[in-house]
Structure 1
């Protein structure tokens, strides 16, 4: 009886398990059916190579086949994720912060040239008024002092007094009655290893370019052939370069001595014999240039740049630098250009001394020089000597459109100005106006993205092109430098409360509101 009951129980349990398995299978089958129905009703339609299946699915008749992508490596590199540039990799003063990588931006033209990054130690800085261009120039000069780099500036607007005070030097005031007299025709020193013939040739060409440039400004036009020849003959007569005098005994010319030689036909008449030019006719053809030089000496530059052989001023290389203040002779653009050129010529001659330390020369208001063909020619020759003389040069001006407006598009002075910028290893541009963007693209060689960026740069942020690399750098100032570079103090007086200056935050807030920017 027990075995039969046990067998019956086992049969019953087996039947229950079979029924449970069948019920579970039916449930799974129904769930799969429900899932397929929900996918068909609610899910995306099935897709093959020609599109989705089903009615009105927009299937294409032919399978879509895209052509292979053909591009260059220069374009292909842009598909990689953005990578922060590691920087220039040289020692030098800290300029500020690279905007995209948020790293410190350290810059030294001398070290970059030694590292082979630059082919010439020349630099261009440009930016419209109020973009903090002058702040960069002053801090480059000031921060280079601990690194042993002296600075030398010809100041035509009197805006470098604060830099002189911070550096512990006194600007040299140049003007009528100031007691400082210079000789712009002073000779450059012969460099170690430089051949005598090469040195004499550079010396002569430098003086001729200066005289021709000054007289072209004074006359308001180009010189004639007879006038150029008279300048050459008179200069050679003063220096005694045409009578076989040895190089170490050549005389140093001055503007007055050159004028006196122009009026003495006996000093250069023998030069006309070979070209069969009558002396009286030659004197008549070149009379204009003699009168122009006489007006220059007795009028515009009288008592300032007509020193005897030894000037009353020398450069002290123990000082951090020197600033020549020309604000007293800033009466017109022509006068300013002539005074700038004479002061720069004298300063450049002083800086060729063999004991001269590493130095940087700042040429502010460079656009004034480019308006005159003779002066921009002289500047071109000077920049060519930068490597041989160990001098760093910085050209500064406001807008590239000023250079483009210095002459016609195919004029020689515009071509020379463009060549000077192309030959610089470092080009820094702060904010540019919309009308200057085309000229900036032409002179800087910027890409479309970089050109558009120049229109939107904030104050103190500039586009740096160092060799073949580009950076966007925010210039940062210390507390001491903020007072040194402040050129807006007279404009920051609170109109509601006379005698009280606006704070930096108040001034920036009003400036942002004026241009429609949200601080």
Structure 2
């Protein structure tokens, strides 16, 4: 590579001295073009580089006259950051709990959605919500448990509206003061999804009544449409639900329940002297609510709540694992009811609390247009109530279960997820490449990196910046055992009983073919059992 030497000649030099100087520069340039033959010659400047002011020509105030031939130094960016600290990113500072290690800066990585929201610099965000995306066994749940548990020491609280697998129950029981509300399995606990909830500070009577009524109507419509397989209700059916709710509120002195609405719908159907269209529109909603009053979901959501929300508890978990075993539809209906109850009791700005609301299997909250609209409103109001919604998905394709292709419901679901500013992207499958680039606007290098991440590693998008974080680098043995959710129910041998085995045994049993998914293999294996 050609080099250019910039020479600043002093006007005090004589003509002969300037001529000698230029001759020395030319000799230096020729000597640089001769490759050194020994290690010493490669490491030291050429002896021939000299001039009237001594070796190196750097004396006397001349710059860039000759370049010492030093051997090149090669190192990783991690080590170079120690020599040149200004090339290492400063991260998000030291506010909030330690989540893990920033693999690019080789420094501890702290994160708190409320701290980033309050940051007035370019590292600040406009949202406290977090999207968590990653394949099975990528470390999503363990990472979120790490964030939430360590945040408790900073005064934050946590709520899990629906713990479908019972994973958060263990965490709540391990934390002093943690509270678990168990539903099903013969427990007497009941939650009323139509609870009024606390009064919003600063809102007028009219505003408060409107917000409560909208939440109740949205809950009822979501339950009915979900039970009907996503079929939208007609205008008459909407009117019937509104009328039944109004009558129930009046009859119960503003303490409506699903049983009360069910009874009012029955009276409307039997009222032969009333509006026959309204009576006809009451039939479908009544059949759906009958499932809660007399069917497989009875004893859970149809009457007044028998448990109260402990606002002082560091973490509250609603254990719905027993109900989720009854089928997908029951799981969706259960999640709508428990989420509506949680929203009613935690949306109190006057309490001045900051809470994580962890939505495991977040797509289940978005299975109808009504639930999507309620979901969107809840995310927008999260800052107002001091809430950070953590929406956990296995893949963007989970949202394909919402509505039909190119439907309003599916487009709204993708829009809601894409608008979440803070994103934690764990290891993904190769099928997700297009979705990540198109739906989340991830750069191609980041998409390729996401396919190669190790367990517990994730790309964190916070505001305008991205970080590569290893969550488990600073976990203690106690934390690791508490947060480990890697066990799977698989048979040790065909024909034997199902039992829990660890991850290493699972790796040995799971076929190595990339065309075989873990879920598909487990289902096929269980089908082969006697």
Length-normalised TM-score, structure 2: 0.72
1:158-169 matches, within 5 Å, as: 158-168=166-176, 169=178
Preserved contact between residue 261 and residue 267 of structure 1 (Cα < 8 Å): no
2:126 — aligned with what? 119
Preserved contact between residue 121 and residue 386 of structure 1 (Cα < 8 Å): yes
2:37 — aligned with what? none
Over 3 Å counting, the alpha-carbon distance change for 1:440 and 1:493 in structure 2 is same
Match of 1:140 among 140, 147, 152: 147
Match of 1:472 among 468, 472, 497: 468
Residue aligned with 1:396, SS: strand
Residue aligned with 2:453, SS: coil
TM-superposed CA distance for 1:338, in Å, is: 0.8
Q: Which runs of 5+ in 2 are unaligned?
A: 1-29, 35-84, 515-530
TM-superposed CA distance for 1:180, in Å, is: 0.2
TM-superposed CA distance for 1:508, in Å, is: 11
Residue aligned with 2:167, SS: coil
| Correspondence 1:149 to 2:156 | yes
TM-superposed CA distance for 1:120, in Å, is: 1.7
| Correspondence 1:236 to 2:246 | yes
Matches of 1:493 and 1:320, distance apart in 2: 38
Matches of 2:488 and 2:481, distance apart in 1: 13
Residue aligned with 2:184, SS: coil
2:234 — aligned with what? 224
Matches of 2:290 and 2:103, distance apart in 1: 55
Matches of 1:120 and 1:503, distance apart in 2: 38
2:445 — aligned with what? 449
TM-superposed CA distance for 1:122, in Å, is: 0.8
Matches of 1:389 and 1:239, distance apart in 2: 26
TM-superposed CA distance for 1:170, in Å, is: 4.7
1:95 — aligned with what? 99
Matches of 1:461 and 1:286, distance apart in 2: 51
Compute the RMSD of aligned alpha carbons.
3.4
Preserved contact between residue 352 and residue 386 of structure 2 (Cα < 8 Å): no
Preserved contact between residue 206 and residue 381 of structure 1 (Cα < 8 Å): no
Over 3 Å counting, the alpha-carbon distance change for 1:501 and 1:350 in structure 2 is closer
Matches of 2:337 and 2:500, distance apart in 1: 39
TM-superposed CA distance for 1:316, in Å, is: 1.8
Larger RCO (CA under 8 A, 6+ residues apart): 1
Preserved contact between residue 441 and residue 447 of structure 1 (Cα < 8 Å): yes
2:217 — aligned with what? 208
Preserved contact between residue 425 and residue 458 of structure 2 (Cα < 8 Å): yes
Greater C-alpha Rg: 1
1:482 — aligned with what? 480
1:185 — aligned with what? 194
Matches of 2:382 and 2:255, distance apart in 1: 23
Provide, for residues 409-457 of structure 1, a one-character-per-residue CA deviation record: whole Å limited to 9, x for no partner: 4212222222222332211110111112211223321011111211111
Preserved contact between residue 486 and residue 502 of structure 2 (Cα < 8 Å): no
TM-superposed CA distance for 1:93, in Å, is: 0.6
Match of 1:365 among 361, 367, 370: 361
Matches of 1:338 and 1:443, distance apart in 2: 28
Matches of 1:122 and 1:514, distance apart in 2: 37
Match of 1:336 among 311, 315, 331: 331
2:459 — aligned with what? 463
1:417 — aligned with what? 413
Preserved contact between residue 151 and residue 362 of structure 1 (Cα < 8 Å): yes
Matches of 2:204 and 2:310, distance apart in 1: 28
TM-superposed CA distance for 1:105, in Å, is: 0.6
| Correspondence 1:258 to 2:261 | yes
Match of 1:104 among 101, 108, 125: 108
1:319 — aligned with what? 313
TM-superposed CA distance for 1:160, in Å, is: 1.8
Match of 2:346 among 348, 351, 372: 351
Q: When the two structures are aligned, how many residues end up with a matched partner?
A: 419
TM-superposed CA distance for 1:256, in Å, is: 1.2
Matches of 1:491 and 1:265, distance apart in 2: 49
